[in-house]
Structure 1
Amino acid sequence: MVYKKSCASLLLASALFVSPLAIPGAYAAPTSDYHYEIHVAGQPSTYVQQDSVYMKNGTLYVQLNSLADRYWIQASFDSTGKRAGFNGWLKKIGVRDGSKKAIVDGKVVMMPKPAYFKKEKDSKQPGVYVPFQFAIEALGGTYTGYNAQTKAVTAKNLQEPHFIYTTHHGMMYGADKNDGAVYKWDGKSKPVQIFSLNHNLDAAGIDVETTPGGLLLITIGNSYGEPHLNSEVYQFLYKNGALIRQNHADYSPGNTDLMDRYKGKIMMNDSHILRFIEDGSGDVVQTIDLTKLGNKGVDQQYSIEAMDDDMLLLRNANDFELSIANIHTGHSALLYKQVLSANEQKVVEESLPDALQFMSADRLTFKKRVGHTLYFTFASPNGDPPRTVTYDLNQLK
């Protein structure tokens, strides 16, 4: 039986892409007598990023790893560990240990004092320390000075990140959260827009993979609303550079699919129709009408939690109930009514109207199949210890 977490589900798990920006007034435990204060463009004046800076030879330094990470710019090092590159969307910074020379977006910039690298206690990567003013200007902000009274160095105009991106086979793929435009970028020429979602994004992530059959699959997961309980997934499938399939499923507060492959086939589920795409050709080789199989009406939506040749576990995005369906006969059944006691069913039914995505709905989690027996964990809403329940597929003909 094939059952695995999909990249889309991983992207959306636990409101995964919460902004790395500091919350208003946030201030890390001080490790220095000096600190920085950064006002982010477009944020209220009370929204100030703060963290430590370090005085060395009369110059205030900041750890570039930490500061750049707030803006989704990640560090990498050469084999010697003496050269560091900081790469993000439309941003490249390169520095060398002990050197004043830096490269910012392809241009040579001289820092007032040399960078220095320092082994950090809780990190495999060395800390890269550069003059604070250089770091701010390299990231596109404005240096505004030093307050000797508060020992604070200040800056403004840093832009809040609005691009999500990933790197695949040397190419960067990014989505503008403001308008949903998706681009690819080789790091040299201008980014090329490849499509648009025609929709803005909230707490989102992007994944790009090349399938075993040579297709390119781009998946964008978006968790939206307050407090980010709504989930949607976009999929775009390319063959030889041409878009051949696309899919979108908006589950609102429902769960996203826990499967994206079955026996080598790519699964695309729009929450109504499940399509199986042959890897390599990109052809649709099988479709399953989930609304028909779920037997709850044509306006319902379903995500996939597990499947085998003869059965499908699907969860309704509107009432959060998990069903078992026989693919061949079309028969289906609500699992909680089959595997729980009368008292447990009552407790579940009382909690379902208030169920949310993170509350596991009917509290049934699929674990494994052995022969014709399916095993689930039931975590009762009343706080009883979780227990294992089983369902015999022979009951569903």
Structure 2
Amino acid sequence: MNMRSIPLNRSGQAGAPIRLLLAMLLLLSFTVAMIPYSVSAAQSVKPIQLRRMDGGSEWAAELKQPIRTAQGRLYIWIQDARSLFGEINWVQATNGSQVTAAYPGTFAVFKPGARSAVVNGKAVRMDHPALLLQNNRMYVSLRVVADLIRAEVRYDSAQRVITLTTYGIRYIVNADRDAEGLVWLDPRKQQLYIAKPGQAPVLAGTTHVKLDGYGYIESERLDAQNLLVTLKDIYGEPGLGTNVFKLLVHQGRLTLESKASYYGIRSTDSLSAYPGGLVFVDGSRVLLARPDGTVTQKADIGMMLTTDEAATVVYASDDALIVKLYNSQMLAAIDLRKQAGALLYKQLLPADEQEKIEASSRYSMDFDYVGDGLDFDRREGQTFYFTHIDAPETTYAWTLS
């Protein structure tokens, strides 16, 4: 075999080109050796992902703090738990000494690091702490969360993915989770639960609420005795239908409820209270009631105005109402003493303006449709004052006879 000779330098070693080649080979081998270690290191610090499956819905949680592991258990930051598991009301003591968790049928008190808890008034032993305090942040065990909402937790350690599957009831809860009056509605059994933050939920009663689509709840604490709950049920495609349910809870018991149905693009917001009491729109009727649920006045708007339109209430008193018909966006005045009503544009505006309003009513589904253009301004004695969109500096007056 013919072999080429490699010239040596005076020290008997290979020349500079060979030294450079050897150095390059050594560097390449070192780099290749490092690749598996780098991939492994990247995998070891990959954050744990959390998914929630609820009936036919599935979504990935956007966590502000990574999932923690301790003693073989998985923990979630309590603020992330509030966002992902809104049906549980979490209240953390200001000094960090304890956390309460409220959910229909369950009220639990946990202490950081403790392997015991008080659940529904009874001491319960656990195989791991429910709470973990790290870096001044409170973390709660995902196993505890799952037990509270009757869910299953599975952890794929290879993929580093936690899947929490809910099989039980999916309650509708307050949109404002810091509200003074907490509310849970079971849409299947139509049961309404209420609580104050840090207290156990109680059953207020069974409602007539039946959802046609997606519901969300807001609550208003009227006083220590009374809670007003508003539930909006959005349905249809593309969500133009709205059922508005109002539920009055007096001394912990459901005492009055109403339902108004709207279809369109206008606001469904309606006056809820006035100095003399509360306002409920129930079908074509407006009910005035005391905070204990006693109805003091009824006005059948549909019968008085000979219309099948739903209405919202703009003004209320014991003797009069100002309502707005939902589709036509016309204001009407209601005399509660006479049980009579009238469309205000016919009472206040000139004939040519009335004709324009009636001609434009065919475009009531347009976004820029303004109806009769009247806005309620104020009441002084028996006189009500209004302005018009085309004459904002002109005041129109209507007097309650």
The TM tier, using the shorter chain, reads 0.5 to 0.7
Q: Does 1:40 align with 2:50?
A: no
| Correspondence for 1:164 | 172
Q: Secondary structure at the match of 1:67?
A: helix
- Contact kept, 8 Å, 2:75 with 2:142, in 1: the verdict is yes
- Contact kept, 8 Å, 2:378 with 2:384, in 1: the verdict is yes
| Correspondence for 1:83 | 98
* 1:71 maps to which of 59, 62, 85: 85
Q: Does 1:231 align with 2:246?
A: no
Q: Which amino acid aligns with 1:259?
A: L
| Correspondence for 1:101 | 115
- Give me the whole-angstrom Cα distance separating, in 2, the residues matched to 1:323 and 1:247: 22
| Correspondence for 1:250 | 261
Deviation at 1:115, TM superposition (A): 0.4
| Correspondence for 1:314 | 323
Q: Secondary structure at the match of 1:115?
A: strand
- Contact kept, 8 Å, 1:375 with 1:388, in 2: the verdict is no
Deviation at 1:56, TM superposition (A): 6.2
Deviation at 1:273, TM superposition (A): 2.5
| 1:141-160 CA distance string (max 9 Å, x none) | 33322434x5x231232358
- Give me the whole-angstrom Cα distance separating, in 1, the residues matched to 2:242 and 2:314: 15
Q: Does 1:197 align with 2:222?
A: no
Matches within 5 A, 1:374-385: 374=385
Matches within 5 A, 1:142-153: 142-148=152-158, 150=159, 152-153=160-161
Q: Secondary structure at the match of 2:66?
A: strand
| Correspondence for 2:287 | 275
- Give me the whole-angstrom Cα distance separating, in 1, the residues matched to 2:249 and 2:223: 10
- Give me the whole-angstrom Cα distance separating, in 2, the residues matched to 1:62 and 1:365: 53
Q: Over the residues paired in the alignment, what is the CA RMSD in angstroms?
A: 4.8
Q: Which amino acid aligns with 1:277?
A: A
Query: Higher RCO, 1 or 2 (CA under 8 Å, sep at least 6)?
Result: 1
- Contact kept, 8 Å, 1:34 with 1:53, in 2: the verdict is yes
- Give me the whole-angstrom Cα distance separating, in 2, the residues matched to 1:247 and 1:273: 10
Q: Which amino acid aligns with 1:155?
A: T
- TM-score, structure 2 normalization: 0.63
Structure with greater Cα Rg: 2
Q: Does 1:393 align with 2:376?
A: no
Query: Percent identity at matched positions?
Result: 13
- Contact kept, 8 Å, 2:386 with 2:396, in 1: the verdict is no
- Contact kept, 8 Å, 2:331 with 2:374, in 1: the verdict is no
Q: Which amino acid aligns with 2:132?
A: A
Which piece of structure 1 moves more, 253-262 or 72-81?
A: 253-262
| Correspondence for 2:21 | none
Q: Which runs of 5+ in 2 are unaligned?
A: 1-44
| 1:152-180 CA distance string (max 9 Å, x none) | 23123235862235799999753212342
* 2:345 maps to which of 334, 337, 358: 334
Deviation at 1:343, TM superposition (A): 12
Q: Secondary structure at the match of 1:219?
A: strand
Change (3 A) 1:229 1:153: same
- Give me the whole-angstrom Cα distance separating, in 2, the residues matched to 1:162 and 1:153: 23
Q: Does 1:305 align with 2:319?
A: no
Deviation at 1:310, TM superposition (A): 7.3
Q: Which amino acid aligns with 1:70?
A: L
- Contact kept, 8 Å, 2:204 with 2:254, in 1: the verdict is no
- Give me the whole-angstrom Cα distance separating, in 1, the residues matched to 2:394 and 2:206: 45
**Higher relative helix content:** 2
Deviation at 1:298, TM superposition (A): 4.1
Deviation at 1:392, TM superposition (A): 0.9
* 1:207 maps to which of 219, 227, 231: 219
Deviation at 1:197, TM superposition (A): 1.3
- Give me the whole-angstrom Cα distance separating, in 1, the residues matched to 2:168 and 2:373: 40
| 1:181-205 CA distance string (max 9 Å, x none) | 3356899999657223162363231
- TM-score, structure 1 normalization: 0.64
Q: Secondary structure at the match of 2:270?
A: coil
Q: Secondary structure at the match of 2:302?
A: helix
Change (3 A) 1:96 1:231: same
- Give me the whole-angstrom Cα distance separating, in 2, the residues matched to 1:370 and 1:210: 25
| Correspondence for 1:180 | 190
Q: Does 1:128 align with 2:138?
A: yes
Q: Secondary structure at the match of 1:222?
A: strand
- Give me the whole-angstrom Cα distance separating, in 2, the residues matched to 1:89 and 1:303: 33
